Amino acid sequence: MKDMLAQVEPLIPALRRYARALMRNRANADDLVQDCLERAVSRWHQRRDGNVRSWLFAILHNLATDRFRQASSRGRHVSIEEAGEGEFQGGAVQEHRLMYLDVLDKLAKLPEEQRAVLLLVAVEDLSYADAAKVLNIPIGTVMSRLSRARERLQQELDGVAGAQGNVVILRRQT
């Protein structure tokens, strides 16, 4: 178990970051990470794959998927608390803080499956192959979701999607 501590502990901050970006709620995210670590401790000896990082992200992702499923089957939304609030009091100047909150807000609008791919690849630095393993999907699907996630987020950030989308809806209504 000593090797487990040495290999897993340094990855906890990244697990928290991924969980927070998925759940958008500090308490729920940390709860998820705690479950993930408990499971990792109890299954450490059953781990077959050599890559601890993707093994942990896979456990975390499966737990998150279960939560989302439970939440939707109970007919209520996963709480989308202000994820960014209170997190940037530190070094970030006001201007950056607003930009960060804005991108996180827009990230939250992506479908969950696209958000997961984008976070694993662009933020957590998983290889495309490891992301495919974590999400249990073919690598081609990783690439197409990544592409869609980036395009969509970019449109949101440019303000294009909102504007064009509104125009189309208005025309249809009149």
Partner 1 sequence: MNNRPITEDDLHAYVDDVLEPERRAEVGSYLADHPDVAKRVAGLADQRELLRAALAPIADEPLPPELNLSRMIEGRRRRSHPAWWTIAAMLLLSVGGFGGWVARGSLGMSPSGLAALAQEATYSYNVYAPDRTRPVEVRASDTAQLVQWISGRLNRPVNVPDLANSGYRLMGGRLVATQHGPAAMFMYDDDHGSRVVVLTRPMSNADQNAPMTAHADGGATGFAWADNGIGYSVVGEAPAESLRPVANEVRRQARAI
- Contact of 120 with 149, CB cutoff 8 Å: no
Which of 23, 33, 120, 135 lies at the binding interface for partner 1 (CB under 8 A)?
33
Does residue 20 interact with partner 1 by CB under 8 A?
A: yes
Nearest CA-CA partner of 112 in 61, 55, 157, 163: 61
Q: Give 72 or 112: the residue with its C-beta nearer to partner 1.
A: 112
Judged by CB under 8 A, how many residues of this single chain contact partner 1? 49
| Residue from 71, 88, 113, 137 binding partner 1 (CB under 8 A) | 88
Among 51, 67, 71, 87, contact with partner 1 (rule: CB under 8 A): 87
What is the torsional sign of CA 122, 124, 127, 131? negative
* Binding flags for partner 1, 104-123, as an x/- string (CB under 8 A): x--x----------xx-xxx
Angstrom distance (rounded) from CA 129 to CA 131: 5
- Identity of residue 21: A
Nearest Cα to Cα of residue 23 among 107, 103, 91, 86: 107
Helix axes 52-73, 128-135, angle to 10 degrees: 40
Q: List interacting residues with partner 1 (CB under 8 A).
A: 1, 4-5, 8-9, 12-14, 16-17, 20-21, 30, 33-34, 37-38, 41-42, 45-46, 48, 84, 87-88, 90, 92, 96, 99-101, 103-104, 107, 118-119, 121-123, 127-128, 143, 146-147, 150, 153-154, 157-158
